[in-house]
Amino acid sequence: MSAIEATTPTVRKTALNAVHREMAAKMVEFNGWEMPVEYPANGGIIAEHNAVRERAGIFDVSHMGDIRLEGQEALLAVQHITMNDAARLAIHQAQYSALLYPQGTFVDDVIVHRLAECDYLLVINAGTRGKDFQWVRDNSRHFDCFVENLSDAYTQIAIQGPQAIRVLQKLTDSELSSVKFYWLTRATVCGLHNVLVARTGYTGEDGFEIYIPSDEGTSAMVWNQLLDAGREFGVVACGLGARNTLRLEAKLPLYGHEISDTLNVWEAGLDRFCKLDKMEFIGRGALEEAKAEGVQRTLIGLEMVERGIARDGHKVFEQSGRQIGYVTSGSYAPFLKKSIALAYVPPQSAEIGKELQVEIRGQLVKARVVPTPFYKRAKKKA
């Protein structure tokens, strides 16, 4: 084989690929993975989206990657490579965080799970799997800890929505109500022992993400049992289409859009996940300087006032006609029934209520700056 052939990217498939095809999912390529974008038999992306807001949905998110750091100095390593304060994590607690470059921009955003005393699991994005693992390994060399890429070991399934807990509870004897949001447990699920069950997600809803062995048989068994168990609650299988509109309504960032290697933490508005007062970490110096200087651009929410849908890359203009920024994500928001977008603009244009314009296919369309997240779930009493 020639070198060219060897570097031709192959599209990867998750262990549930055949199951998705059987369900007549519409498959697309996403970050090098063949993934279901929607299951037309469910009624499409809007129906899937609203099922998660009102009932529950299950998602194959096995394309996400997993990196484990284990050993005496695992905490020190995690502290060094991530921006949040992992020292605050109790065993079985998780936190949103990010891997940063020395200039304070993003390698990736991650969820850090503390599995045991000196054992951490970083869940990372599909598109950055290779880069992230390299980054984590290279930058944790000086610590006494073992770094393992477990990305291919797990099939990761997200069960999301207000009824998610009741769906999953039917398949486990662990008491899920005792697992708080952003905590995890080890449970027997569908007869599988010691399954990592985390109360996390990417939809703006309550829900769980479970990590099961990645063989096709086990993966299909659990997927189908979730669908069966969820039938009485109206659970549906959901694709990446709904996953994207759900996370957009909840203003959860997507790598390559709201965060990237050219955007820093302050610009992305992720201040509360970045702890400058903890020990030194990669990117801290640059972030301290950037904080002193103040940001040149900031992430805002837009709601279209006139008809039209702003999309990734569309330019944002002031009323005066001056271009001031660009859209990072935009869509029709199925639950809110509005056309919404996230965009970077200078802070002086970020005032709530300010009228701006988005250039959509050659036409300037009016939009208004609105508070974010666009959608926030109602807090229920425990």
Partner 1 sequence: MSYPAELKYTKEHEWIKPDGDLAAIGITDYAQQALGDIVFVELPKVGSEIMAGKSFGSVESVKAVSDLYAPASGKVTEVNQELATAPEKINHDANRTWMIRVELKNPAELNTLMSVSDYERFIQEEGGH
Interacting residues with partner 1 (CB under 8 A): 26, 37-38, 40, 44-47, 241, 245, 307-309, 311, 331-332, 334, 339, 361
Q: If we measure between CA atoms, which residue out of 113, 129, 157 comes closest to residue 65? A: 129
**Complex with partner 1: residue 337 or 379, whichever CB lies closer:** 337
SS3 343: strand
Q: Is residue 208 within 8 Å of 158, Cβ to Cβ?
A: yes
Q: Which helix (H) or strand (E) holds 51?
A: helix 45-54
What's the closest the beta carbon of residue 44 comes to partner 1, in angstroms? 4
What's the closest the beta carbon of residue 351 comes to partner 1, in angstroms? 28
What's the closest the beta carbon of residue 49 comes to partner 1, in angstroms? 8
Residue pointed to by tokens 């959860």: 252
Q: Is residue 99 within 8 Å of 81, Cβ to Cβ?
A: yes
**Complex with partner 1: residue 307 or 381, whichever CB lies closer:** 307
**Complex with partner 1: residue 96 or 202, whichever CB lies closer:** 202
What's the closest the beta carbon of residue 334 comes to partner 1, in angstroms? 7
DSSP state letters, 125-186 = -GGGHHHHHHHHHHHTTTSS-EEEE-TTTEEEEEEESTTHHHHHHTTBSS-GGGS-TTBEEE
What's the closest the beta carbon of residue 100 comes to partner 1, in angstroms? 31
**Complex with partner 1: residue 42 or 172, whichever CB lies closer:** 42
**Complex with partner 1: residue 40 or 71, whichever CB lies closer:** 40
Q: Following CA atoms 237, 241, 245, 247 in sequence, which dihedral angle do they give, to the nearest 10 degrees?
A: 70
CA angle 370, 372, 373 (to 5 degrees): 140
**Complex with partner 1: residue 45 or 268, whichever CB lies closer:** 45
What's the closest the beta carbon of residue 9 comes to partner 1, in angstroms? 22
Strand 33-38, strand 12-13: pairing: parallel
CA angle 106, 263, 98 (to 5 degrees): 25
**Complex with partner 1: residue 18 or 279, whichever CB lies closer:** 18
DSSP type of residue 224: H
What's the closest the beta carbon of residue 26 comes to partner 1, in angstroms? 7
